[in-house]
Amino acid sequence: MAGSKSFSAIWHLRIDPSDNIIVRVMADMKPKIENLKKTQLYSNCFCQF
């Protein structure tokens, strides 16, 4: 079952109202996308993005 960290997690809920959401989301997404692009799965099963 989900731990407390993931249970409350979605960027909108965890970001302080004064934070820039797009900066925080991009900082999280860009490394994930870069890691995905290195995998065989990406070249075989994904559209290129």
Partner 1 sequence: MKPKIFTDNIIPNPKVSLSYLSSPILSPPTRENLFLTFHNLLLTRVRKKRLKIDTDDNCAHCKQAPEDIQHIFHCPASQPAVNWMRRKIDGIAPELAKENHFSIFTLNFSIVNSNRKFSVIWLVANLLAPYGT
Name the residues that contact partner 1, by CB under 8 A.
Answer: 2, 5-15, 17, 20-22, 24-26, 28-29, 32, 36, 41, 45-47, 49
- How far apart are CB 7 and partner 1 at their closest, in Å? 6
Nearer to partner 1, 6 or 38 (CB): 6
**Residue 38 CB, nearest distance to partner 1 (Å)?**
14
Contact 28, 11 (CB under 8 A): yes
CA atoms 42, 44, 46, 49: torsion sign: positive
Cα separation, 25 vs 12, whole angstroms = 10
